[in-house]
């Protein structure tokens, strides 16, 4: 199943879609580098890595 990759904002704890998707079965094997996102909730730029990700339908 394809899941959307969401990242939790460290300031507001709200979830933000990254626009990326991943096959759920492959997720445990997926290696992610650090990414940045412009956060719509607090208007800062966050660094995020795999541990910050929440998968959603
Ligand atoms: Zn934020």
The 10s digit of each residue's pLDDT in 1-57 is 999 999 999 999 999 999 999 999 999 999 888 899 999 999 999 999 999 999 998
Q: What is the pLDDT of residue 6?
A: 96
The Å distance, Cα 23 to ligand 1 centre, comes to: 26
What CA–CA distance (Å, rounded) separates 4 from 24? 9
The Å distance, Cα 11 to ligand 1 centre, comes to: 5
Q: Are strands 15-23 and 2-8 parallel, antiparallel or unpaired?
A: antiparallel
Bridge-partner residues for 22, per DSSP? Answer: 3
The Å distance, Cα 24 to ligand 1 centre, comes to: 25
Q: What is the pLDDT of residue 44?
A: 96
């Amino acid at each position: 199943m394809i899941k959307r990759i969401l990242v939790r904002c460290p300031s507001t704890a709200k979830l933000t879609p990254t626009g990326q998707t991943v096959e759920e079965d492959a997720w445990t094997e997926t290696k992610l580098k650090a990414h940045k996102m412009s956060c719509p909730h607090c208007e800062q730029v966050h660094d995020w890595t795999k541990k910050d990700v929440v998968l959603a339908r």
